[in-house]
């Protein structure tokens, strides 16, 4: 169980936007209020990446945090875009761009982004783990590691090989994925404990999926006097050696709720744990597509299909069929492209953090809505 030193991390991948369809339109006024509130509450861990918000996240953090607060008052974690690594020099080149975008001279945590079976090859080809060692030596990073999106056996292989370099591993951990055979949160957590690395949790609410549950699940929580988001955060924070639980917050209201949850946090009881495991079983019955809304697939799609949005609508409609879902499907498809426009090129597959068979699932979505 946790030692209660867990803090809430400000994930900068779902920042508030002025135009919901354009990730580059970050709402700087709302973000400024969120940063101020978060800092006032005594938290200080900001997690961004080269890629978030179509490469605009780092700059938004610069304007709202770096330009306004002393450097020693906050921590910044940033991630090297593994998919852009072709040769060794690319590590340095990308890191210098990241530092410049943020307006800082060092990262508190420097991670290789989205390590999975496909991208570990790219990272090794570019000698990125040795680069992390060098970055630490040169003072460009205090701690180094990687964010991970694959099964526990690969995680163990990587840590066995690089545990002398890696300080931090960012894993996907939430009560729905804890026992999940594909994501294997529990096993990944065990491997991190075995190698003694700091653990940063991402997707504790699974991209919002654990809030948008069916009516009967909501009622189960209400009967127990529990809140959906709060329980999900508490579950993650209660696991051992969790340094930070990241939440990709999109509004001041969400930020206030999450800050309160983590500030008031007490390690979860066994009864509460059992309750969540039961709810996970129920949710699994409801959810057809386990997409975490990371958005990595979207940029790779030549057809401009808003893949996670369509999956999300499909999941919602399977739980509660509504005319509004159909209307939203129609308008979303019209602005971008419908599920049926997939040409099965397979570009998206290696980017999928949840290993979904996206072209096949899009056929299901098309059959359902079109
Ligand atoms: S397989 Fe379909 S969804 Fe995936 S990138 Fe190609 S067109 Fe887009
Ligand atoms: S389909 Fe996969 S890559 Fe695309 S948003 Fe969902 S989890 Fe991420």
Q: Give the tens place of pLDDT for each residue, 120-174.
A: 999 999 999 999 999 999 999 999 999 998 889 999 999 999 999 999 999 999 9
More confident residue, 325 or 271: 271
What mean pLDDT value characterizes the chain?
93
**Is the pLDDT assigned to residue 259 strictly greater than 90?**
yes
Q: How far apart are CA 34 and CA 61, in angstroms?
A: 11
From 302, 306, 337, 341, the mutation candidate for ligand 1 (largest count of ligand atoms within 8 A of CB) is 302
Determine, yes or no, domain membership for 180: yes
More confident residue, 334 or 235: 235
More confident residue, 213 or 243: 243
- CATH number, domain of 191, equals 3.20.20.100
Q: How far apart are CA 38 and CA 32, in angstroms?
A: 10
pLDDT > 90: what percent of the chain? 78
Backbone angles phi, psi at 68, to 5 degrees: -120, -10
Assess whether 68 and 192 both reside in one domain. yes
* Domain end among 286, 321, 351: 286
Assess whether 262 and 322 both reside in one domain. no
Encode pLDDT of 80-115 as tens digits. 999 999 999 999 999 999 999 999 999 999 999 989
Sequence-ordered list of residues with C-beta below 8 angstroms from that of 361, at least 6 positions apart, any chain: 289, 311
Q: How far apart are CA 44 and CA 200, in angstroms?
A: 14
**Is the pLDDT assigned to residue 6 strictly greater than 70?**
yes
Determine, yes or no, domain membership for 291: no
Assess whether 32 and 168 both reside in one domain. yes
Q: How far apart are CA 236 and CA 365, in angstroms?
A: 31
For the chain, how many structural domains are there in total?
2
Encode pLDDT of 40-82 as tens digits. 999 999 999 999 999 999 999 999 999 999 999 999 999 999 9
**Using CA of residue 239, residue 164, residue 184, residue 218, what is the dihedral sign?**
positive
Cα(72) to centroid(ligand 2), Å: 35
Confidence of residue 320 (pLDDT cuts 50, 70, 90): low
**Is the pLDDT assigned to residue 196 strictly greater than 90?**
yes
> Is residue 354 lining ligand 2, measured as CB closer than 6 Å?
yes
Structure confidence at residue 208 (pLDDT): 81
Cα(294) to centroid(ligand 2), Å: 5
Q: How far apart are CA 91 and CA 58, in angstroms?
A: 17
CB 159 within 8 A of CB 139: no
Backbone angles phi, psi at 147, to 5 degrees: -95, 145
Confidence of residue 264 (pLDDT cuts 50, 70, 90): confident
- Return the ligand number nearest the Cα of 311: 2
Q: Which ligand 1 atom minimizes the distance to the CA of 341?
A: 7
**Is the pLDDT assigned to residue 1 strictly greater than 50?**
no
Sequence-ordered list of residues with C-beta below 8 angstroms from that of 365, at least 6 positions apart, any chain: 310, 311, 313, 314, 339
Assess whether 30 and 144 both reside in one domain. yes
Cα(348) to centroid(ligand 2), Å: 8
Determine, yes or no, domain membership for 302: yes
Determine, yes or no, domain membership for 2: no
Backbone angles phi, psi at 192, to 5 degrees: -60, -40
Determine, yes or no, domain membership for 108: yes
**Is the pLDDT assigned to residue 262 strictly greater than 70?**
yes
Tell the residue nearest (CA) to atom 5 of ligand 1. 301
From 354, 355, 359, the mutation candidate for ligand 2 (largest count of ligand atoms within 8 A of CB) is 354
Assess whether 276 and 321 both reside in one domain. no
């Amino acid at each position: 169980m946790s030692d209660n030193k867990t803090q809430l991390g400000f994930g900068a991948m779902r920042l508030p936007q002025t135009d919901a369809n354009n990730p580059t339109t970050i709402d700087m006024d709302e973000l400024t209020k969120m940063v101020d509130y978060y800092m006032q509450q005594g938290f200080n861990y900001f997690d961004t990446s080269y890629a978030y918000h179509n490469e605009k996240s780092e700059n938004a953090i610069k304007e709202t945090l770096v330009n306004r607060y002393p450097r020693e008052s906050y921590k910044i974690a940033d991630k090297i875009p593994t998919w852009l690594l072709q040769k060794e020099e690319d590590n340095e080149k990308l890191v210098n761009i990241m530092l410049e975008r943020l307006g800082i001279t060092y990262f508190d945590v420097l991670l290789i982004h989205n390590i999975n079976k496909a991208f570990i090859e790219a990272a090794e080809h570019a000698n990125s783990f040795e680069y992390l060692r060098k970055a630490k030596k040169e003072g460009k990073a205090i701690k180094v590691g990687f964010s991970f999106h694959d099964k526990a056996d690969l995680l163990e292989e990587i840590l066995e090989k690089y545990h002398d370099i890696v300080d931090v591993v960012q894993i996907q951990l939430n009560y729905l994925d804890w026992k999940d055979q594909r994501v294997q949160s529990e096993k990944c957590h065990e491997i991190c404990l075995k190698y003694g690395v700091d653990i940063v949790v991402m997707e504790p609410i699974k991209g919002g999926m654990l809030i948008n549950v069916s009516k009967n699940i909501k009622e189960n929580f209400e009967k127990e006097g529990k809140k959906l988001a709060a329980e999900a955060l508490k579950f993650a924070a209660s696991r051992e050696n969790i340094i930070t639980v990241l939440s990709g917050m999109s509004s001041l209201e969400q930020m206030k709720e999450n800050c309160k949850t983590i500030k008031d946090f007490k390690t979860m009881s066994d009864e509460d744990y059992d309750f969540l495991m039961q709810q996970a079983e129920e949710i699994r019955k409801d959810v057809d597509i386990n997409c975490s809304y990371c958005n990595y697939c979207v940029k790779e799609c030549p057809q401009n299909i808003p893949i996670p949005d369509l999956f999300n609508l499909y999941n919602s409609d399977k739980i509660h069929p509504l005319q509004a879902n159909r209307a939203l499907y129609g308008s979303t498809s019209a602005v971008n492209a419908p599920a049926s426009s997939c040409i099965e090129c397979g570009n998206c597959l290696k980017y999928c953090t949840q290993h979904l068979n996206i072209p096949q699932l899009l056929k299901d979505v098309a059959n359902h809505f079109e």
